[in-house]
Amino acid sequence: MALVCAIAVVATTYVMATRKARDDIGEASERQLQIIALDLESVLQKFETLPFALGFQSDVLQALARPDDQLNIQRLNLTLQLIQRQSKVVAIYVLDRQGMTLASSNWDTPTTFVGRDFGFRPYFREAIKGNAGRFYGIGNATNVPGYFIAQPIYASAAAHGANAAIGVMAVKIDLTEFEHTWRSSEEPITLVDSSGVVFLSNRQAWKYHSLYPLPGAVQQNLTGTHQYADQAITPVTSLPKTQRVEFGQHVTRGIGRLGWQLMLFPSQARIARIALLWSLAAALLLAIAGISLWALYQRRRRLEERLMSAEYLDRTIAQRTQELMVANHTLETKYAKLKETEHLLRSTQNKLIQAGKLAMLGQMAAGIAHELNQPLAAIRAFADNAMTFLSRGQADKATENLSHISNASARMGKIVGQLNGFSRKSHEAVAVIDLPKSIEAAALLLHNEFQTHGAALLIEIRQAAQVVGDSVRTEQVLINLLRNALDAVDNAEQKIVSLVLECEAGEAVIRIRDSGSGIPAQVAPHLFEPFFTTKPSGKGLGLGLAISSSIVQAMNGRLTANNHGDGGAEFVLRIPLPDMVES
């Protein structure tokens, strides 16, 4: 019963919505037709008096009186052409009493009316009788459709009547502009003549077809006047179904003085769509009401079930709570173990880094001892010389030797200071690092090793840069990379290591390139793995690049290696600049 009632409500809604939509669309179509009709009638009436007024031109009367006066005919052609261009009509022309065109505004075109006989046209026959002639048809000369208005020409203002007319003045107006305007409308709009033939429409397939089959007399009349260029006029219903699907119910409004009918065909699909939407809305409301009732019914059942199973639910909740507490305790235990493991890993990493530094210090010990031995020997020699000069009373030379002693001591202090700074254990103090100074410090610590190996270290600071990180660890990375480069050029013909500092795309970029043999293809994938080394046993643990990579990653940077196109290996260190880190 509920389903039957619902179907009845939806069906009633569809019928009522269809009726309402048809009435509303019909009223809207009436208003639209009224606007179109006013626009069309204003154009038709605009030129009603033009042929009548032109008929009193002196050149017109002289041309009808003396049609063989070619000079006057030509002057009249030019006058009509000028008026036609100013008034924006299709053509203006003068016919004698027999319907022969004496002068025309299109006298200089291939389709000129001059010399053509239009005596068969209805507008001429009406005008020569003394009445206003009106007609719509396809041009006999131009094959272009238009609306013709004709008025009799009288010899004087006092003359009147059929016998008094000495000629006819005709004007042709183009109405096809309305078709372009109507194309913006979704519904078909047509203008039909008194015979029921469509001659203007925004549906091109309907043009020059009739609303219904035409009687034989009407067909003969159309043939006699050549109104539609002798086209066979067939009903719109004879067109293919796809072209006549919109032909049907319509609203009509009379236009002009020739019994024309302006028709608009409201979209039946639109009416059906509106009705369907209303029906769907009604069905949706019924569905919502049914679902709501069903939900209320189900809610009552659920309440009853809950009351019956309250005790069971309490036991279940208590059990689940206990399980959650146990799981929570287990998670806390695991989290504590993970934190402990993380602390152990960090401690191990720091120890590995410190061990790597100490190993490096051991490798640099001999060079640094040699580096300190030279200033010590110089200090001793300068001190002996100073004592000698003082005993001789040569205070100026003694002062010069003491100055040399001071410079040598400063150099030793600088070396020892860099060594102490590098050897101390880092406390992960994050600060702003001046990269040129870090590069200078690393180069100073390795200066003696480069001299010992006969290698050249070329440093080019293209752009000064500052980054955020641990200065001690940054120097350790630079020393690791420079020592690797020094080892790579040990057997090369030219022992050159170059370091370039510049900025690219918000990053500080350090490129360390050597003139060695490059990185073998089988080594490249494992280059940054811990304990992987290509050096002989006892010359390295394989931790330098792994530790360096982890330090750089902790600074949000990256360390990469590749073979340079001109030979040798190139390590590229990229660290974000401070503004990029903040963003």
| pLDDT tens-place string over residues 415-465 | 565 555 555 555 556 788 999 999 998 888 888 888 888 999 999 999 999
395-406 mean pLDDT? 80
pLDDT computed for residue 140 by the predictor: 82
- Higher-pLDDT residue of 523 and 351 is 523
Q: Say if residue 581's pLDDT is above 50.
A: no
- Higher-pLDDT residue of 103 and 304 is 103
Longest alpha-carbon distance in the chain: 159
Other residues' Cβ atoms within 10 Å of the Cβ of residue 9: 15
Integer Cα distance of 445 and 442 in angstroms:
5
Amino acid (one-letter) located at 234: T
pLDDT computed for residue 551 by the predictor: 85
Tokens of 470: 């641990």
pLDDT computed for residue 141 by the predictor: 83
180-199 mean pLDDT? 89
Amino acid (one-letter) located at 451: Q
3-state SS string over 313-373? HHHHHHHHHHHHHHHHHHHHHHHHHHHHHHHHHHHHHHHHHHHHHHHHHHHHHHHHHHHHH
Q: Say if residue 330's pLDDT is above 70.
A: yes
Of 52-61, 173-182, 422-431, which gets the smallest average pLDDT?
422-431
Residue 539 pLDDT class (50, 70, 90 cuts): low
pLDDT computed for residue 540 by the predictor: 53
Q: Say if residue 381's pLDDT is above 80.
A: no
- pTM beyond cutoff 0.75: no
Other residues' Cβ atoms within 10 Å of the Cβ of residue 494: 11
Query: Over the chain, what is the mean pLDDT?
Result: 84
pLDDT computed for residue 37 by the predictor: 86
C-alpha Rg value of the chain to the nearest Å: 54
pLDDT computed for residue 36 by the predictor: 87
Integer Cα distance of 103 and 96 in angstroms:
10
Q: Say if residue 266's pLDDT is above 90.
A: no
What percent of the chain shows pLDDT beyond 90? 29
Greatest mean pLDDT among 280-294, 330-344, 488-502, 522-536: 488-502
pLDDT computed for residue 368 by the predictor: 56
Q: Say if residue 12's pLDDT is above 60.
A: yes
- Concatenating the DSSP letter of every residue in 398-451 gives HHHHHHHHHHHHHHHHHHHHHHHHHHSPP----EEEEHHHHHHHHHHHHHHHHH
pLDDT computed for residue 246 by the predictor: 82
Q: Is the dihedral of CA 410, 416, 419, 421 positive or negative?
A: negative
